[in-house]
Structure 1
């Protein structure tokens, strides 16, 4: 059984547990998100349309909304105003941190949560119960940084 098949089976159980069904359209959408993360709804639609020509954009949006409500996917909003989606691979308390390249738009994930000490200080000093946080670093990916350095040299 492939990794994505195993993930689909786990997600299917979660969907059924919540009282929904994993329709063929929903499964196609999940396969696309599992294959490549950080896609917009329109990008997901175009990729799903290639394998299921009968699917509509509204179905993709409704499915993304449902999967978000069930905490199966994360909806990510970056400074470009376009929402992107990725699979919530585990039941961790916080989402990943992200590295967003300002030049090419590439998004990488930092999976370690390095803000535990900061959260503890905030909760202690401000009597504020933190439920989640999101952190995005804006800069240049390695490829764009190297290209920029090469341009500055020449």
Structure 2
């Protein structure tokens, strides 16, 4: 068995990197959606949602960087072109969203997809003995599940 510079099986690291690149693509499209929510929100909930969307996109941007750096740590290259992100992402662009409820629903839908992908990645990472990726995914899931709960409670009002 051949291993990479951090001691992981090369073929398993390749699989993890491919899945992380797909996750990266989804994060990038989701990030831009949330930026759009922040920029374009209108209505009576403007002030509170404008601030919340900024908080969310700042968190997403940090994760984009962490995911790209994890891919590099595994010995591979992160995607860095929006054409690749669009081609690889299952999260679709959400254009012209201005209504608060619609934007929050978009946020919830995006997080649902990310959480599912991260759970899958956590399993693949565990199988590969990659504690670094598994821990990263676990941290993201915990944070995002709480965000989903809070956004769902917000919509229930």
TM range (shorter): under 0.3
Q: TM-score, normalised by structure 1?
A: 0.26
Determine which structure has the larger strand proportion and give its number. 1
Determine which structure has greater relative contact order: mean sequence separation of CA pairs < 8 Å that are 6+ residues apart, divided by chain length: 2
**Higher gyration radius (CA):** 1
Determine which structure has the larger helix proportion and give its number. 2
